[in-house]
């Protein structure tokens, strides 16, 4: 929605089919992925549905908007599988694995670019992460979200390590961490593919 607004479309619900097709054609030419196509289609299907319930017909402007046929494969693990993996990691490695499971940060650039100052707790006890624009990948934006699973773990980590505002949140090597969890995943699930279509050992 922000990207459309930046191109002068102030009301996204007034978009026309030509506007959408041109936008995503240009988006692909710039080398971006099809992730936003799927998200926009989900939004527009929702928009048509809620209007239909009110007797309002919204034109289907996404009929010819299709992501590429071939989907990329990835490692998908469940919470139970994560728990099994963490049995073979030390305390900080466990936190990092669980943080990646819980958060929407890109690994390693955003995850390892986070500093203590990017973590905050509100009056409700919710722990929030602010991903600043200077550590974002070229295809992502500055964003803020709360940790529903690892919030208190992160606060305890900061306290136990006596970390200051300008310190990096995680101090271990991401190359070593990758090597470690891949080795553990191979031992646990060698030869098996995850629900995401990729072998567990390539986590």
Percent of the chain topping pLDDT 70: 96
For the chain, the farthest-separated pair of C-alpha atoms sits apart, in whole angstroms, at: 59
Within 13 A of 139's CA, how many CA atoms are on the CB side?
11
Residue 76 has pLDDT above 60, yes or no: yes
Q: Can you give the pLDDT at residue 34?
A: 74
Q: Can you give the pLDDT at residue 12?
A: 83
| pLDDT band with cut points at 50, 70 and 90 for residue 69 | low
Full strand arrangement of the beta sheet holding 119-121: 119-121, 127-131, 143-147
| pLDDT band with cut points at 50, 70 and 90 for residue 149 | very high
pLDDT tens digits along 97-137? 999 999 878 889 899 999 999 999 999 999 999 999 888 87
Q: Can you give the pLDDT at residue 71?
A: 59
Q: State pTM to two decimals.
A: 0.64
Q: Can you give the pLDDT at residue 3?
A: 82
Residue 138 φ then ψ, to 5°: -65, -20
Residue 70 has pLDDT above 60, yes or no: no
Residue with more model confidence, 187 or 35: 187
Q: Can you give the pLDDT at residue 128?
A: 96
Dihedral sign, Cα of residue 96, residue 100, residue 101, residue 103: positive
Decide if 129 contacts 105 (C-beta within 8 A). Answer: yes
């Amino acid at each position: 929605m922000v990207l459309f607004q930046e191109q002068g479309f102030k009301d996204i619900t007034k978009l026309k089919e030509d506007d959408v097709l041109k936008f995503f054609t240009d988006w692909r030419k710039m080398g971006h992925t099809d992730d936003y196509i799927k998200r926009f289609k989900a939004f527009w299907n929702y928009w048509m549905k809620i209007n239909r319930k009110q007797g309002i017909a919204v034109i289907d402007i996404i009929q010819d908007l299709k992501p590429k046929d071939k989907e990329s494969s990835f490692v998908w693990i469940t919470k139970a599988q994560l728990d099994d993996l963490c049995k073979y990691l030390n305390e900080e490695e466990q936190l990092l694995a669980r943080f990646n499971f819980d958060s929407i940060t890109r690994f390693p650039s955003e995850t390892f670019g986070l500093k203590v100052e990017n973590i905050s707790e509100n009056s409700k006890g919710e722990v929030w992460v602010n991903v600043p624009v200077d550590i974002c990948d070229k295809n992502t934006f500055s964003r803020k979200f709360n940790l529903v699973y690892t919030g208190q773990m992160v606060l305890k980590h900061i306290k136990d390590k006596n970390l200051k505002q300008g310190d990096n949140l995680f101090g271990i090597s991401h190359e070593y961490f990758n090597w470690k969890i891949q080795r553990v995943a191979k031992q646990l699930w060698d030869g098996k593919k995850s629900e995401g279509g990729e072998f567990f050992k390539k986590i």
